[in-house]
Chains A and B, each alone.
Chain A
Amino acid sequence: MSTSGELDVAYGILDHQIVDSENRRCGKVDDVELEGKVGEEMRVAALLVGVSAWRGRVPRPLAGLIARYFARQVVRVPWEVVKEVDSAVHLGQTAAELDLGRGDDRWQKRIARIPGSGF
């Protein structure tokens, strides 16, 4: 991200790792939501996270499969939550607060029951 606030969306944030305020990996920038009109300056309104957010970005047959098997909700992370962008996108809140990383949360409980799981 440059100091002037300009951002190369495709190169700088799209497909980058998202890390929450507790340094936990909690998804990828699967798509972005832009704001603005033709001829006006565009602005990133939110990051969209979840495999369903790929639908508009992959070849059509694959998009159909995703729609069928990954009908889960896309999580919308408002741009205001983004604290810093370097090689990852760092958030100012925890994954739980933003509803991110739910898959890991679900499985964690099951794995934690096995001895030696580290929990």
Chain B
Amino acid sequence: MKRIFGLALGILAAIGGFVDIGDIVFNTAAGATFGYGLLWVVVLGVGGIITYSEMCGRVAAVSKRPVFDAVRERMGLSTGLVALIAAQLVNLMTLAAEVGGIALVLQLLSGLPYRALIMLAVIALTVVIWVLPFSWIERVFGYCGLCLLVFAVGALKLHPDWGEVAKGFVPHVNTTSPLVYGYFAVGLLGAAMTPYEVYFYSSGAIEEGWSPKDLGLNKANAMIGYGLGGFLSFALMITAGALFLPLGINPELLGTVALGAEVPLGQIGLILALVGTLFAVGGAAIDTCFSGAYNLAQFLGWEWGKYRTNAGAPRFTITWLVLLALGFCIVMTGIDPVMLTEYAVIFSAVALPFTYIPILLTANDRTYMGRYVNGRVANTLGLFYMLVILFIAVTAIPLMVITHMGQG
């Protein structure tokens, strides 16, 4: 049992980070537009986030340094400050989108007015974060988010053409509309490696008190957690490819996505899909909210961490409260959460190198890491993904503009 609970950090980081509102809609939209043709991109993205999560989890366990300590130490004050501002803006956009997402799911479940549900969502999040210890937040949101596995059952029941699915795992480029395909590919990679996942994961490792003897647990968390996130992405994309593509449906609404579970599995499928989405999106709201507070506290040297208690890390506590309040104000303007999260994914793609370069540098620093520095495999993968990240950072915004956010 202890071992299962030990995986909670990776599962929440992955469920909340990998399958948040943006990914749920992005993966489904990709499946509805290109069928199974982008499955290989998800594999690439999962490899990237596993590589860098393992690295920053190891840095945290060995040197007790979370990501934003490394950012400031290795990028310098001025560049670090730019990275901080970029990270906080993207975090806030994502947080607002997730809060809106919770309200949308609650609306589908209850039929109550959207704005009242936003208020309910923020109050519920505040109480949950205030009262529950870190480990219980991980467990409740991570494991309840696993209801999303209903999409995997749904995908099987839809009997997709498995030959076509297998072809989707082979890297290729769609030649009929290469730019829209490129936009989706960059978006999926950006969403898979979105920086708040590693902010949360590395600080979470310190919250959990990991030490070098937990390095096996770190590896298991990164691989199983994000592997599971990738598996859910496959399920969403295959469901969309099998169900929405033949019907010509473009699922821009969260409710349409849930149909992917309702059509093959009936009402129970729909309810499980909505409950899973509720906890995954709620988990993502907590991930982004905490990430913002971790980043600011770490950059300025404040005391931080849920493990210090709310009053024990007062400015950290105030920061997450303020971020929740700001997220609430943004989403109350009526801005579309799905649109907001798509922007957040694309902008975070630009900010990716600021996050991942310091992690790679720190993981190679013997004075920090001693005998736990990156080995050949971690460095080969790290450098390969650094090239991928730089490519995404350069192409994300031009592709967004040229394709009108994937509309063609």
The 7 closest A-B pairs by CB, nearest first: A118-B309, A28-B301, A107-B314, A117-B311, A119-B311, A87-B63, A27-B301
Instruction: Say whether B301 contacts A18, CB under 8 Å.
Output: yes
Instruction: Say whether A25 contacts B78, CB under 8 Å.
Output: no
Q: How far is A18 from B303 in the complex, measured between Cα atoms in Å?
A: 10
Instruction: Say whether B63 contacts A114, CB under 8 Å.
Output: no
Q: Which residues of A contact B312 (CB under 8 A)?
A: 108, 118-119
A116 at interface (Cβ–Cβ under 8 A)? Answer: yes
Q: How far is A104 from B305 in the complex, measured between Cα atoms in Å?
A: 13
Which of B304, B314, B317 is within 8 Å of A25, CB to CB? Answer: B304
Residues 238-270 of B, flagged 1 when their CB comes within 8 A of A and 0 if not, give 000000000000000000000000000000000
Instruction: Say whether A15 contacts B300, CB under 8 Å.
Output: no
Which of B72, B78, B309, B315 is within 8 Å of A28, CB to CB? Answer: B72
A15-B73, A111-B314 in contact; A25/B302 too (CB < 8 A)? yes
Residues 289-310 of B, flagged 1 when their CB comes within 8 A of A and 0 if not, give 0000000001111111000011
Look across to chain A and name the residue whose beta carbon is closest to the beta carbon of B77.
A57
Please report whether the interface of chain B is mostly helix, strand, loop or mixed according to DSSP: helix
Please report whether the interface of chain A is mostly helix, strand, loop or mixed according to DSSP: mixed
Give 7 pairs: A residue, B residue, CB < 8 Å, sorted on A: A15-B72, A15-B73, A49-B301, A87-B368, A104-B302, A111-B310, A116-B310
A103 at interface (Cβ–Cβ under 8 A)? Answer: yes
Q: Which residues of A contact B58 (CB under 8 A)?
A: none
- Min CB distance A108 to B, Å, is 4
Most buried by A among B63, B80, B302, B304: B302
Instruction: Say whether A26 contacts B301, CB under 8 Å.
Output: yes
B318 at interface (Cβ–Cβ under 8 A)? Answer: yes
Q: How far is A42 from B130 in the complex, measured between Cα atoms in Å?
A: 48
Which of A14, A16, A49, A112 is within 8 Å of B311, CB to CB? Answer: A112
Instruction: Say whether B303 contacts A59, CB under 8 Å.
Output: no
Instruction: Say whether B301 contacts A17, CB under 8 Å.
Output: yes
A73-119 with Cβ < 8 A to chain B: 86-88, 101, 103-104, 107-108, 110-112, 114, 116-119
Q: Which residues of B contact A112 (CB under 8 A)?
A: 311
Look across to chain A and name the residue whose beta carbon is closest to the beta carbon of B72.
A15
Most buried by B among A25, A103, A107, A119: A25
A residues contacting the other copy or chain, number (CB 8 A): 34
Instruction: Say whether A15 contacts B311, CB under 8 Å.
Output: no
Instruction: Say whether A107 contacts B64, CB under 8 Å.
Output: no
Q: How far is A58 from B73 in the complex, measured between Cα atoms in Å?
A: 15
Instruction: Say whether B301 contacts A107, CB under 8 Å.
Output: no
Instruction: Say whether A15 contacts B76, CB under 8 Å.
Output: yes
Instruction: Say whether A111 contacts B300, CB under 8 Å.
Output: no
Instruction: Say whether B77 contacts A108, CB under 8 Å.
Output: no
Which of B81, B298, B310, B318 is within 8 Å of A118, CB to CB? Answer: B310
Which of A51, A62, A114 is within 8 Å of B310, CB to CB? Answer: A114
Residues 39-64 of A, flagged 1 when their CB comes within 8 A of B and 0 if not, give 00000000001010010011100100
Q: Which residues of A contact B73 (CB under 8 A)?
A: 14-16
Q: How far is A116 from B72 in the complex, measured between Cα atoms in Å?
A: 33
Q: Which residues of B contact A17 (CB under 8 A)?
A: 65, 69, 298, 301
A17-B69, A28-B72, A87-B65 in contact; A103/B315 too (CB < 8 A)? yes
Which of B130, B298, B304, B368 is within 8 Å of A116, CB to CB? Answer: B130
A4-44 with Cβ < 8 A to chain B: 12, 14-18, 24-28
